[in-house]
Structure 1
C-alpha cells in the first residue's frame, strides 16, 4: 500500500472531514505520511517506530487510522495529564470528525481512584498532623458522594501531591478485593469493567508496565485482547519498564502497613494491645533505618552502604519487628478481612525485604534512594530488552511507538535496542515548522569547560545579557539542582519576574509563566519535557550543559560497567545517545507553533570542540548557528519591529 492508497491519508487531507470540521486545521505532509504508515502497520500487524517532530500532529496521525480500522486498541501515554487530554479532548474530536462512536474508556492506576473503605478508616481514625489535612479529608468525603468515577483529578480543592491522598486511595498491597465492605461501589473495579468492555482504552506507561510485569493492576485481561497498541511519548517507556520489571521496598510501604494495622485493630480487634504496639515498633524501625542511611537526598549502590554497622543493626531491628507484627497479625487475622489483608501484606513485605537486600545476580543492580524522611531499596534490571520482547511475543498485536525524540541523528538503534525490538519499520518525520526563518541557535563564545568551578557563573553572565535582549520570556534549563539554585540566587534582583522549579506545583508555575508574559522560568529534570508554552511568552530557551546522565548514578554506572565488560564503548553507545534524546526534549520547548519565533542557547562548548558534538548537532532542528551576541539581539529586535508593523497595519 502506498501513501496515495491510504484512507487515513484522504481523511486528513484537504478534502477530508477534519479540514471542514476542525477550526484552524491545516493539512501537514508529515502527518499524512505518519497516518499512512500507521494504517499500513495495522493492516499488516507489524511493529512501527515513528519519530514525529514537533508540529507533526502525531496524535491525529495515529488516532485516525486506529479509529477507522475499528480494531480494539490500547493507547498508552507518558503521564496522567496526557491521558486526560487524549481521552477528554483529542479522542472525542476525532470520533466526531470520523462519524464513529466506539466505546471509550480511561484507565489509570489504582492510586488515582478514591477508595471508599480507606476513606472510612481515615475518618474513623481521626488523626491528622495538621488542621489542613482534616479539612482536606472532609472535602474528599463530601466529594465522594458526588463523583461518578472517583478519579482524584476531579477534586481540584485538594492538591494532587497532598499527603492525605495515600490514606484514602489503595495499592495492590492493601486492597481487600472482593472482601472489601465497599466492593460493590469500588471505583477501581468500575473503571476496570468499563475498560474491559471498551473498544479503545487510554492508559499510561506506568499502568501498562505494571500489568506486563506484575499482573497486579487488573489490566491483564485487556492486553491479550488488543489488536493495536500505540505507545505515545515512547522515549519514556524503557525507564518506566525498568522500574516495574524490578523490585522495590520503601519506608512508606512499611509505615503504611503499620498505620493500616492500627486502624484495622481499632475496628476488629481492639482488645489485642500488643498489635498496635508492634505496629508502632515497625514505624519506628523504618524511621531508624532512614537515619542510619545518613542525611540528604541520595542515590547510591547498595553495596556501598549495606555493611556499615549502623545499617546492619537497623536492618536487623527492622526484620525483627516486621516478623513480630506479622506474627500478631496472623493471630488476629480471623477477626476480620482487614486484619487478614494486613497479615498477607506483612508476609509480602518481609519477602521483599529479603530479596532487595540479598546478593543480586549480574542482571540486576541493587541501589538505595533516600529522601528527607523516607527511603527505597531497589533491585533494577540492567536491561529490559529481553523481558519486553517476551511480552511482545505473547501479544501478537500491531505495536506503534512514537515520540518527537527517538532517533540519534537518523539512527533508531538506541531506542529499539532498549526494548529488544527486532527490525521494526521506522519512519523519521521532521517538524513542519520553519526553523530556518523563525529560530536561531546561539553557542556563547569563550566559556570555560563544563567541569570548571566558574562555569555556572560564566553561563549566567551570558544569560543576563540574553534575558535583557529577549525582554524576559525565557526558559532556563539546567542539568543539576545545584546549578539551578545558583542561577536562582543570581537572578534575585532581576527586573523580570523569576519563577523557580519547586516554588509551587509545575502546572501552577507554567500557568503563571504564560500569564505574566515576560517571566524567566528556571527548571531541571522533569522540566526538560512536558512544557508547552506557545506564543510570545516563551522566546528564549537556554540550556546550561549537554545533559549526560550523572555517572555517579548507581543504575547508570552499572550499565556503563556492563557495556565495558562486554567490550563495548559505553560513552558512544549509551551515554551520548541518552544525552541526545534528552537534549532534543529540552530543545523542543522552544518552537511549539508555526508562528513561534525564538532563540535556542546551548552553552556547552563541547558542542563545537569535541568530535561527539557532531552527533548532537545532527540531531537538532535546522537552526542557523551564530556565536555573536549582536546577531541574537538583532533577531529579537527584528521580532519587535515585525510586531510594531503588524500593530500599525
Structure 2
C-alpha cells in the first residue's frame, strides 16, 4: 500500500475523524495517480464520476506533500465549499501545519479608494445607489477581509458595486493612497505565503495571460496545479487569450473622468465635456444593436448600414479623451491611470475593427445595458500546451465529465495536452437500482410548435406524483424556461424558483429548505449543483444541449474544422453536447442513498444515429420509454416517504 493509499484505509485518521467516510477503490486509485504525477511533475487527466470522491482524492496528496499548490475551481461557490468545508476538515485531520488561502478576483474585494471617491460625490448617484453606499460604508468599518460576497444584504448585481470595487483598468496599484490597507493586496500576500491556494479558473487564466497586473507572481511559485471542473477550461482559456472591449468599460472610464473633474481637477471643465460626449456616443453605439440580449457574428454585423460609422465615432471620442488627458498628465494619479486606460481601449478597439484577420472568431454579445466586442482565438492548444510543457510542475485536470465514452481526445486536443496521462473512474453508485432514465414516447421534435405543450404536460404529471420531493427542470434556452415558468406559476402553489429571480446560491438554499420545490434553470444550473435526498427526486431536461447554431464561436470552430477536412458535427458539436448532458444528468444521484428519475424530452436520443453515443456516456440507469413507468417509480418513492 502506497503512502497516500494508507489515508484511505478503514483504519486511517480520515476514517476516524471524518463523519461518514467510507473507503472507495476509485478514490484511492485517483489519489495514488495524483501523487505519482506530483512526484514526476507530469500531467494527468481524470474523469471521476459522481460519487468517486475526487475532491478528497486530490486534496490528500496535496496536503501530505511538500511544496506549494493551487486548486482552481469552476465557480466561486465551489471555491468557498472547498475552502470553508472540505479543506479545514482534511487539514485538521492529516496536515494541521499547512497554511491555506482563498483568493478571488479583484471585483470581489472592497476598494477603499474607490469607496472614498464615490462618497465624496454621492449626490451624483440615484437614491438606490446612495442607500447602498451607506450600507457599504457601515460594513467597511467592521469587515476584516473586504470580501463583498459576505455582504449578504446587497443583491449580487447591486448598482453600487462598480463604484466601490476596482478593475484592472482603474486600479492605481502601488500609487494608490490606500495601498497599504488594500484588501486585494492583503489577500494576494496571504496567497503567496500559503502552502495551498484556492482560486477559480477565471482568476487563474487572468494570471497566466498576465491580464491582471500585480498578480502574475503566484503561478510560477507553485509545484502543482489542480483544475477541478476542468471541462470548462477550453472556453475560459479562449477568452483570456483573446481580447474584448465592452461599452460598460468605456462608460466606467467616462464616469471616472467626471469624478476626477468633480473631486480633483475642478478647473479642467473640458474633462467633464469629453466624458459626456463619450457617454452620448456609447448610447448611440448601443442603438446599432437589437434591444433583446443576443450573440452574433461581428464580421457580419459590421457590414450593416451605419455600424462602421458608429464604431468610428467611438474611436474618435476615445482619441479626444487621450488628447485631453495627455495634456494634464502628472496632475492626478487617477487621471494618469485614465489616460492609460483610454490608450489601451483605443488600441483594442482598433484591433476589433480589423475583422479580416484569420485564426479568430470575431463576435459580439449584448445585454440591455451594454455591448461587448470579442476577438477569440479558435484554438489555444499551441499556447496552453507549450505553457504546460515549459512549466516545471505537476498538472491535474479532473471533472465528472471529460470523456466521450472512454475517449479523452476532445478535451486533450483542445488544450494541447498531448503527453498527459488519462484515467477514467466509474461511480460507485448503483445507478441501475437507484435511478430510472425515461425517454417518453410520442413526443414531437424539439423545434415543433407543439413541443412546449407536451413538455409542460410531462412536467405537470411529474409534479402531481412527486408531491413531497423536489423537481429540477433544466432547459437549453431562457425562452423555454420563461414560458414553462409562467405556465406553472398559474398552476401550482408549491415553491416555484426561477433562475434570475435571485442569486443562484439563494435559489438553491430555498430549494433545499422547501423539500418539494420546483427549480427552473438553464446552463449554470446544469453543473455545480449538489442537492441530496428527497429534496431532488426528479430531473427533467427539455432537449439535448447542443450549442446554439448561431453562436459565433461555435460557427467559427465549425468552419475551421471543415477547412481542415474534419466532420464538424462529430468533432466539435457532438462532444460538447454530450459533456453538457452528462453534467445535467449528474444533478440527480449525489449520494449512495439517493433515488430518482431522469426524464429527457428529446426524441433525437432514440431517432438519430448519434443518440446512442449520448446514451452510452450517461450513467448506467435502468431505461424506459414509458412515462407511466417513471411516474410509478416516483409514486413508490412518495409512498416510502409517507411511511417513514
Give TM-score, length-normalised by structure 2.
0.97
In the alignment, which residue of structure 2 is the partner of 1:531? 529
In the alignment, which residue of structure 1 is the partner of 2:485? 488
Q: Following the alignment from structure 1 to structure 2, what is the Cα–Cα distance between the partners of residues 16 and 527? A: 36
In the alignment, which residue of structure 2 is the partner of 1:231? 227
1:414 paired with 2:392, answer no
Q: Secondary structure at the match of 1:536?
A: helix
In the alignment, which residue of structure 2 is the partner of 1:35? 31
1:504 paired with 2:508, answer no
1:474 paired with 2:471, answer yes
In the alignment, which residue of structure 2 is the partner of 1:211? 207
Summarize deviations over 1:287-346 as a string: whole Å, max 9, x none: 110112232111111122213232222222212221112111111222111111111111
Q: Secondary structure at the match of 2:328?
A: helix
Pairs within 5 Å for 1:2-81: 4=1, 6-81=2-77
Residues 62 and 69 in structure 2, CA contact (< 8 A), matched pair in contact too: yes
| Match 1:367 to one of 363, 367, 391 | 363
Residues 536 and 588 in structure 2, CA contact (< 8 A), matched pair in contact too: yes
Q: Following the alignment from structure 2 to structure 1, what is the Cα–Cα distance between the partners of residues 300 and 470? A: 44
Shift of 1:639: 1.9
Q: Following the alignment from structure 2 to structure 1, what is the Cα–Cα distance between the partners of residues 214 and 501? A: 37
Pairs within 5 Å for 1:329-340: 329-340=325-336
Residues 51 and 428 in structure 2, CA contact (< 8 A), matched pair in contact too: yes
1:554 paired with 2:569, answer no
Summarize deviations over 1:65-116 as a string: whole Å, max 9, x none: 1111122111111111211221222111111110431222221111111111
Higher mean displacement: 239-248 or 212-221:
212-221
1:317 paired with 2:343, answer no
In the alignment, which residue of structure 2 is the partner of 1:611? 609
Pairs within 5 Å for 1:65-104: 65-104=61-100
Q: Secondary structure at the match of 2:346?
A: helix
The alpha-carbon distance between structure 1 residues 273 and 66, as it changes in their structure 2 partners (threshold 3 A), is same
Summarize deviations over 1:276-297 as a string: whole Å, max 9, x none: 1101111111111011223211
In the alignment, which residue of structure 1 is the partner of 2:570? 572
Pairs within 5 Å for 1:380-395: 380-395=376-391
In the alignment, which residue of structure 2 is the partner of 1:442? 438
- For these two proteins, the number of residue pairs brought into alignment is 642
The alpha-carbon distance between structure 1 residues 66 and 309, as it changes in their structure 2 partners (threshold 3 A), is same
In the alignment, which residue of structure 1 is the partner of 2:511? 513
Residues 447 and 605 in structure 1, CA contact (< 8 A), matched pair in contact too: yes
1:377 paired with 2:373, answer yes
Unaligned stretches of 5+ in structure 2?
none
Q: Secondary structure at the match of 2:163?
A: helix
Q: Following the alignment from structure 1 to structure 2, what is the Cα–Cα distance between the partners of residues 278 and 90? A: 52
The alpha-carbon distance between structure 1 residues 231 and 493, as it changes in their structure 2 partners (threshold 3 A), is same
Residues 297 and 362 in structure 2, CA contact (< 8 A), matched pair in contact too: yes
In the alignment, which residue of structure 2 is the partner of 1:595? 593
Residues 77 and 205 in structure 1, CA contact (< 8 A), matched pair in contact too: yes
Cα RMSD of the aligned pairs, angstroms, is 1.5
Q: Following the alignment from structure 1 to structure 2, what is the Cα–Cα distance between the partners of residues 124 and 479? A: 45
Residues 214 and 244 in structure 1, CA contact (< 8 A), matched pair in contact too: no
Unaligned stretches of 5+ in structure 1?
none
| Match 1:249 to one of 245, 249, 253 | 245
The alpha-carbon distance between structure 1 residues 633 and 170, as it changes in their structure 2 partners (threshold 3 A), is same
Residues 207 and 217 in structure 1, CA contact (< 8 A), matched pair in contact too: no
Summarize deviations over 1:225-253 as a string: whole Å, max 9, x none: 21111001101111111111100000111
| Match 1:344 to one of 340, 353, 357 | 340
Q: Following the alignment from structure 2 to structure 1, what is the Cα–Cα distance between the partners of residues 362 and 636? A: 55
Shift of 1:129: 4.6
Q: Following the alignment from structure 2 to structure 1, what is the Cα–Cα distance between the partners of residues 317 and 362? A: 24
The alpha-carbon distance between structure 1 residues 621 and 128, as it changes in their structure 2 partners (threshold 3 A), is farther
In the alignment, which residue of structure 2 is the partner of 1:632? 630
Residues 474 and 521 in structure 2, CA contact (< 8 A), matched pair in contact too: yes
Residues 322 and 343 in structure 2, CA contact (< 8 A), matched pair in contact too: yes
Higher mean displacement: 227-236 or 316-325:
316-325
Q: Following the alignment from structure 1 to structure 2, what is the Cα–Cα distance between the partners of residues 361 and 185? A: 45
Q: Following the alignment from structure 1 to structure 2, what is the Cα–Cα distance between the partners of residues 592 and 266? A: 55
Higher mean displacement: 193-202 or 225-234:
193-202
Shift of 1:254: 0.4
Summarize deviations over 1:36-59 as a string: whole Å, max 9, x none: 111111122211111111111111
Q: Following the alignment from structure 2 to structure 1, what is the Cα–Cα distance between the partners of residues 213 and 174? A: 14
Q: Secondary structure at the match of 1:476?
A: strand
Residues 223 and 395 in structure 1, CA contact (< 8 A), matched pair in contact too: no
Higher mean displacement: 247-256 or 42-51:
42-51
Higher mean displacement: 122-131 or 286-295:
122-131
Shift of 1:360: 4.5
Q: Following the alignment from structure 2 to structure 1, what is the Cα–Cα distance between the partners of residues 487 and 150? A: 39
Q: Following the alignment from structure 1 to structure 2, what is the Cα–Cα distance between the partners of residues 393 and 39? A: 19
Q: Following the alignment from structure 2 to structure 1, what is the Cα–Cα distance between the partners of residues 630 and 168? A: 54
Summarize deviations over 1:542-564 as a string: whole Å, max 9, x none: 11111101111111011001101
Q: Following the alignment from structure 2 to structure 1, what is the Cα–Cα distance between the partners of residues 417 and 125? A: 49
Residues 109 and 217 in structure 1, CA contact (< 8 A), matched pair in contact too: no
Higher mean displacement: 265-274 or 45-54:
265-274
Q: Secondary structure at the match of 1:367?
A: strand
Summarize deviations over 1:563-621 as a string: whole Å, max 9, x none: 01110011111111000000011001111111111000011111112111111011110
Residues 437 and 622 in structure 2, CA contact (< 8 A), matched pair in contact too: yes
Q: Secondary structure at the match of 2:363?
A: strand
Q: Following the alignment from structure 2 to structure 1, what is the Cα–Cα distance between the partners of residues 63 and 629? A: 48
Summarize deviations over 1:112-151 as a string: whole Å, max 9, x none: 1111111111001114553232121112112222222111
Q: Following the alignment from structure 1 to structure 2, what is the Cα–Cα distance between the partners of residues 71 and 20? A: 27
Q: Following the alignment from structure 2 to structure 1, what is the Cα–Cα distance between the partners of residues 608 and 266? A: 69
